[in-house]
A and B are shown apart, each in its own frame.
Chain A
Amino acid sequence: MKELVIISGKGGTGKTSLSAAFASLADNHLLCDTDVDAADLHLLLAPRIAETHDFIGGSKAVIIAEDCSGCGLCKELCCFSAISDDFVVDTIDCEGCGVCRAFCPEEAIDFQPRKCGEWFVSSTRFGPLVHARLGISEENSGKLVSLIRKEAQIRAEQSRLDLIVTDGPPGIGCPVIASISGASAVLIVVEPTVSGLHDMQRVAELACHFRIPAMVCINKYDLNEEMSSDIENETQRLGMQTVGRIPFDPAFTWAMVEGKTIVEFDPSSELAETVNSIWGTVRSSEFLTKQEATILPIIK
C-alpha cells in the first residue's frame, strides 16, 4: 500500500481542489483529510458519514474551588502562566502537563482526559474518506492526524485498497509532521509568488528531514511565469521533480461553488486534461509504484 500526501507550506495554493480532482481520477484508493483544523475536502466530496468517533485528546486542569486552600503552589509551578491569582485555570493557556495536579497538597485539581474533536469514516462518490474535526481552539492536532492516518491505513488494508490519497494541512509544524511521517511521497502544490517559493523551500526541507520523497506541482503558473521558472529551477536544485503546471482558471472556484471537482465540472476542458495528465505522472512515479517501499509504521 502507498500513501500520497498533498501539502503546500503556504495555505490556499489549491491542495484541496487538487486532492479532490485526484480522488475522482484514482482507482482502488481511500481518501484521508488531515487538515483537521480547517478541513474542506468534504465540501467537494459530500461524504455520507458511516461512523463517528470521539477524539479524546489531552487533559486540562480544573481547580475545585471548595477543596483549594489557596496555597499558591500550583501557580508558582505552572510554566505556562495558566493559573490566575484567584486560582482559576485558563483553558487556552493550560498545556495539559498535569504538574499542578501532581503537586497540589489538597488534591484539589481535577485532570480528566477530554473530548477534543471527532473523527469520521464516510463513503463518497470516489471511495471511502477518513476525516476529522478538531474542536475550536484545541491542541493535539498532531495526535488526531496520527490517529486518522492509522485508521485510514487499517481500513485500506482491510478493503485491499492499494493507495491512500491524503489532503494535508498548511505549514511545517505538528499536524504537517504527523501527516507526512512515513508516507510514500508528498506532492507540494505551490503558487508562483515570493511567498509560495519561500514556503515551498521550507516544506521541502521538512520532507527531506523526514526522508520523504517530494514532487512539485505549480498552480496558477501564469500569474507570474518568471517566478514559475524560478520555482522549477529551485525544485530541480532540491532534487525534486516538477510534475506539472496548472494555469490560473476561475473554473476552480466555479467548480467549488457547485460542490464538484474540476474534472467533473468540465471533463472535456483543457484544464481537466492538464490535471488528468499530472495525476498520471504522479501515480506512475517510482515512489508510488516500486514494490519494496512500504509505509513505515507511524511513530506517535
Chain B
Amino acid sequence: MIISVASGKGGTGKTTVSVNLAASLETPLKLLDCDVEEPNVHLFIQPDEMVSRTESTFVPVIDEQRCNGCRKCADLCEFNALAVIGEKVLVFPELCHSCEGCREICPEQAVQAGSRELGTIETGSWQHVIMSYGRLRVGEAMSPPLIARVQSIIDPDDLVIIDAPPGTSCPAINAMKVSDFVLLVTEPTPFGLHDLVLTVEAVRQLEIPCGLVINRADIGNEEVYRYARRESLPILMEIPFERSIAEIYSRGGLLVEHSEEWRIRFSGLFDTINDRAALQEVGR
C-alpha cells in the first residue's frame, strides 16, 4: 500500500506526519521524500549511512559535422530548447523536457544524447525504514522527472509513505498519483482551508480516497471542520498547537520518540488508513 501525505499550503505539517507515521510502525516500509525542491525528511530520520546517486536526463547534443541546418528539430520542439541561427543549431539544455523528438526526427542522425543533471537521490536505512529522498539540483526548474526517479524503488507489495511537495500543480500531482490513499494535512485557518479545497479537488480528479489531519487544531476558526462535514471528509487525526510539539519539531526530533501516547495515536492512524484503503479496494 502507498500512502501519500500532501497539502496545498506549505508548512502545515506534512513532514511531521510522514516521519512520525513511519517511525510509529514496526513493519518494514519505505519512506520517500518527494518534495525534491526542499526535502526535509532526512533531518528527522537519519540513517547512519546514505548512498548518493546522481540522476540525469536526456538533452540533445548536435553533431555539427552531420547537421545540415534543416530546422526540423527546432520546428518540432515545443519548449524552444532548440533554435537555428543561420545553419547552426543552438541548444538551450535548461529548457529541454527530454522528449527525444529531435533525435527521432533528425534525418541526418545529427542529434546525439547528452545529459543534464537533475539532482541526486540519497538512500539509507533507519530501524525498520528504508528512507530515500531526491535533492533537486539548485537551478534545475523541473522536479517531476526526479520525483519519478525517487518513486522507481517502489515494489508492488511494499508499504510506502510518500512526503509530497506542497501545491496542486504537476510536482504535487506526480508525487500523489501512484498512491492508494492520500492523507491531507491542513490547519484550521483561511489559508489552510483555501488551499485544502484545491487539493481535495485534485485528489478527487485522481480518484484516490483521502482523509484529513488537522494540525494546530486549536488555532483559527471552525471553517475547515464545516467544510470537512459538508464534503464528508473524515478527520483522522488532530494535532493541537503546543509549544512543546513545535520545539521538538524545530530541533529535528520525533514526536513518537518523546511520547508513547503519540506513538499509539500515529500507529492507530495507520490502522485507520489501512482499513479505509481496504474498504475502497473491496468497493471496486
Across the interface, do B194 and A40 meet the contact criterion of CB distance under 8 Å?
A: yes
Across the interface, do B142 and A173 meet the contact criterion of CB distance under 8 Å?
A: yes
With contact pairs A12-B9, A137-B205 given, residues A173 and B140 touching in the complex (Cβ less than 8 Å) = yes
B111 on the A face (CB < 8 A):
no
With contact pairs A38-B8, A257-B189 given, residues A172 and B136 touching in the complex (Cβ less than 8 Å) = yes
Across the interface, do A173 and B143 meet the contact criterion of CB distance under 8 Å?
A: yes
Within 214-256 of B, Cβ neighbours of A (below 8 Å) are at 219-221, 243, 246-247, 249-252
A110 on the B face (CB < 8 A):
no
The docked-state distance in angstroms from the alpha carbon of A289 to that of B94 is: 33
Chain B residue at minimum C-beta to C-beta distance from A194: B252
Across the interface, do B139 and A38 meet the contact criterion of CB distance under 8 Å?
A: no
Chain A residue at minimum C-beta to C-beta distance from B201: A136
Within 163-213 of A, Cβ neighbours of B (below 8 Å) are at 169-177, 191-195, 198-199, 202-203, 205-206, 209-210
* Residues on A facing B (Cβ under 8 Å): 8-13, 16, 37-38, 40, 43, 58-59, 77, 79-80, 92, 95-99, 102-103, 134, 136-139, 141-142, 169-177, 191-195, 198-199, 202-203, 205-206, 209-210, 223-224, 227, 250, 253, 256-257, 259, 300
Chain A residue at minimum C-beta to C-beta distance from B7: A11
Pick the contact of B10: A12, A134, A136, A250 (CB < 8 A).
A12
Q: Cβ of A13: which chain B residues have Cβ within 8 Å of it?
A: 10-11
Across the interface, do A38 and B99 meet the contact criterion of CB distance under 8 Å?
A: no
B167 on the A face (CB < 8 A):
yes
Minimum distance in angstroms from A148 CB to a CB of chain B: 15
Number of interchain pairs (Cβ within 8 Å): 184
Within 21-55 of B, Cβ neighbours of A (below 8 Å) are at 35, 37-38, 40, 43-44
The docked-state distance in angstroms from the alpha carbon of A267 to that of B254 is: 38
* Residues on B facing A (Cβ under 8 Å): 8-12, 15, 35, 37-38, 40, 43-44, 58, 76, 78-80, 97-101, 104-105, 136, 138-143, 165-174, 177, 189-191, 194-195, 198, 201-202, 205-206, 219-221, 243, 246-247, 249-252
Across the interface, do B104 and A99 meet the contact criterion of CB distance under 8 Å?
A: yes
Chain A residue at minimum C-beta to C-beta distance from B241: A250
B37, B97, B169, B201, most chain A CB atoms within 10 A: B169
Across the interface, do B98 and A79 meet the contact criterion of CB distance under 8 Å?
A: yes
Interface contacts beyond A170-B11, A198-B38: sample of 8 additional A-B pairs, CB < 8 Å, sorted by A: A38-B194, A43-B194, A137-B170, A139-B170, A171-B171, A173-B171, A176-B37, A193-B250
The docked-state distance in angstroms from the alpha carbon of A173 to that of B170 is: 11
Pick the contact of A209: B10, B139, B177, B190 (CB < 8 A).
B139
Across the interface, do B11 and A10 meet the contact criterion of CB distance under 8 Å?
A: yes
Across the interface, do B38 and A43 meet the contact criterion of CB distance under 8 Å?
A: no
Pick the contact of A173: B37, B43, B190 (CB < 8 A).
B37
A sample of 28 cross-chain residue pairs with beta-carbon separation below 8 angstroms, ordered by A number, consists of: A8-B10, A10-B11, A10-B40, A11-B9, A13-B11, A97-B78, A98-B78, A103-B105, A134-B168, A136-B198, A136-B202, A141-B170, A170-B10, A171-B38, A171-B171, A173-B141, A173-B142, A194-B43, A195-B40, A199-B40, A202-B37, A205-B138, A209-B138, A210-B139, A223-B246, A223-B247, A223-B250, A227-B250
